[in-house]
Structure formats: C-alpha cells, structure tokens
Amino acid sequence: MSTTPSVNWSYPTALRFGAGRIRELAAAAESLGMKRPLIVTDPGLARLPMIGEALDLLKAGGLEPGLFSEIKPNPTAGNVEAGVAAFRSGDHDGVIAYGGGSGLDAGKVIAFMAGQTRPMWDFEDIGDWWTRADPDGIAPILAVPTTAGTGSEVGRAGVITNEETHTKKVIFHPKMLPGIVICDPELTVGMPRYFTVGTGMDALAHCLEAYSSTFYHPMGDGIAVEGLRLVFENLRRVAETPDDLVARGHMMSAAAMGAVAFQKGLGAIHALSHPVGALYDTHHGMTNAVFMPYVLAFNRSAIEGKIERLSGYLGMSGGFDGFMDEILKLRADLDVPATLEGLKVDGSKAETIAEMAVVDPTAGGNPIELTKEGARAIFDAALSGRL
C-alpha cells in the first residue's frame, strides 16, 4: 500500500479515516446536531495551529465553537468541573474531544457530566452504576485523535484522577462512545518523538493485555493480534520518519483496535501504570512500556501457549522467549527506559502502589490473579531491571 486509504467504518462507531478528513469537521459536528460545539483539548495542543484551524473550519461551516483547554496530562476531577462550567456558561450543545488521551477522556466526561446532577464518582465503572445517569443529559460527542495510542476515541469511558485519593477512576456510560470519529493521520505528524513512542507503546500494551486476558472474547483476540502486527511493523517507522502518513495511518488503526480489543480486559501492566501515573505524573504509555516485559515474565506460566501462537502469526521465532526478545529490542530501539528509574520513579511509594494496583479496575483481567505481593514483585523487578 503506497498511500494512506480513505475509508468509512462503522465498527464500533462511525469512523472517518484518511488523510485530510479533518476538513469534514464542521459537517460531522452538524450531523450530530451541534450548532455551538465546545472543543476540549489540552493546553499544548491549544497553542498549536491545528486548533486554530479547527475553529476556523467550524466557523466556516456556520457553527459557533468554543474552546476549553484547562486539562492536565492525567485529567482530574477539577478539570472536568471547570470544563462542565465552560460548557454550560457558553450554552454549548456538543463536545469535540480533540487530542490525545487527556483531551479525549476529559472531553467525553465533560459531555457526559454536562447534564447530570449527581456527583461524578457516582458513575464510576462499578457494576451497574452507569444506570444512575440521565442519558438525555449526555451531550453529543465527536472525537478527533491526534495521537495513535489510547484509542479513547472508540471507548465508552474516561479515566479521571481523584485528586483527594490520588487514584485514577474510570467513568463509564454507553452513550460516552463518540457518535463520529475523525482519524486523520496528518494530525499526528507533528507529535514529538517521545510522545509518538509512548502512545504507540500504549497501543501495543492494549493489544497485548487484551490478547493475554483469559476472558472469552474471540473477536477481541483477533483484533488484538492484528493490532500487534501493525504496531511491530510501523512504530519504528513513525518514530524515525515522522511524515510517513501510511505508517501513521496504520498506527492510528492499531490504537483504535487496541481500545476495541480491551473490552475483553486489561491486566497488570495497566493496574501498575495507573497508580504510578497518578502519584508521579508519568506519561501513561511510556509507563506501560516500562512495565511490559516484567508483567510478561510474571504471567508466563499462564500465557506461554498463547504467546507462542502469537509469535507464529507475527513471524517471530523462539516462542515466548523470542517474543520477549522482540519486546526488549523494540523498547531499546525506541529509547524506552529499561527501568522505572528512567521515569524518575523511586521505591518510596512501592507499598502504596502495590495496594492501589490490586484494586485498580484493570487488575481483574490479568491472567494470573494480581495479589499485593505479586504487584510488589513486579514493581520491584521494574525498579531494579531484574527479569
């Protein structure tokens, strides 16, 4: 394939995929019933020309957009509250969630909370808590990812940090799934190499953990396996050749595929990455990348057969050990830190992190039950570099 394709998909929602598709922004927003959309993005993106261009596209389409960008890299409850206030004061009627995981997650939760009266934590992804929400109060959502990692653009939840407890919580509702997604690989070209690598490794972690989970979901397995292939074949390319739109497009596909696949489950990579990110404010994808081989080693007895089958599909020799070698080589080629020290994470909060990991919503998908002792062992291994 010599050019990036331009296609329309409807799984799991309507995706407009292809270079230059951002020019359809106004028409897409209007088709969701938006007249006064609020763009929700992060402060870094808000300063870049692409957000100004998005506002111009919306205005040229006859819409009256607003902009909210008071979002931290790990969005907090305070960020959501400020965004809801901006939504209401501006009399907005929809949200365009624009950016990486922080902008997408915050934007979706702001749209969700705009018409609710109960506190946000009442809608944490526990049991059927989502049924507490007033579905008519959820504003329409259009998602525009500018990274290729989180896959939040095809998700029905947002991860928000509780500042009081320093824990990440998942806010969920089926109607938080964006009505339309515009995946334009041109928007990812200017991403710094560190974030290109971190978000790409996040997509890899999503696919790998979904595939490794013991929950039954053959469709999720199939999507995860192909997503893994796309990452292994394209992440180095986008890191070294940022303007390769074909590779950028494949990475955007892999990111969306990872998020679709992890409906099946995640595991200890994310269960440990979430508290580390909440306590040390590390980049989520890069934290996942650091933990990845140590969690693989921990889970080996439960997943060795599955990884051997995966290796065969990916054309890797050596079964589990060969796959582990390829993970380590990919990390080294992309300058991913070998240990947590490279993320400026020390051992002073190890016990707290282990305690937080076992109650993280993602822990239940790990193929081996994640106990506090197991979480601490993985953390210590990632700190020391012991595989």
CATH code linked to domain 191-384: 1.20.1090.10
Query: How do the domains of the chain map onto residue ranges?
Result: 7-187, 191-384
Instruction: Measure the CA–CA gap between 375 and 97, rounded to whole angstroms.
Output: 34
Q: Please tell me the number of Cα atoms within 13 Å of 123 on its side-chain side.
A: 28
Give the global pTM. Answer: 0.92
Q: Where are the alpha helices (DSSP H) in 90-192?
A: 101-113
Asked if 72 and 12 count as a contact pair (C-beta separation under 8 A), the reply is: no
CB atoms < 10 A from the CB of 239, how many?
19
Q: Would you list the DSSP string of 283-338?
A: -HHHHHHHHHHHHHHHHHHHHHHHHHHHHHHHT-SSHHHHHHHHHHHHHHHTT--S
Q: The tokens of 180 are what?
A: 């339309």
Instruction: Measure the CA–CA gap between 87 and 107, rounded to whole angstroms.
Output: 10
**pLDDT at res. 74:** 85
Please check whether the domain covering 7-187 is classified as CATH 3.40.50.1970: yes
Residues of the chain under the 50 pLDDT cut: none
**Whole-number Cα distances in Å, 163 to 64, 167, 168, 304:** 33, 7, 9, 39
Q: The tokens of 36 are what?
A: 């006064």
User: What are the percentages of helix, strand and coil residues in the chain, rounded to 5?
Assistant: 60, 10, 30
**Nearest in space to 66 (alpha carbons), one of 102, 93, 32, 99:** 93
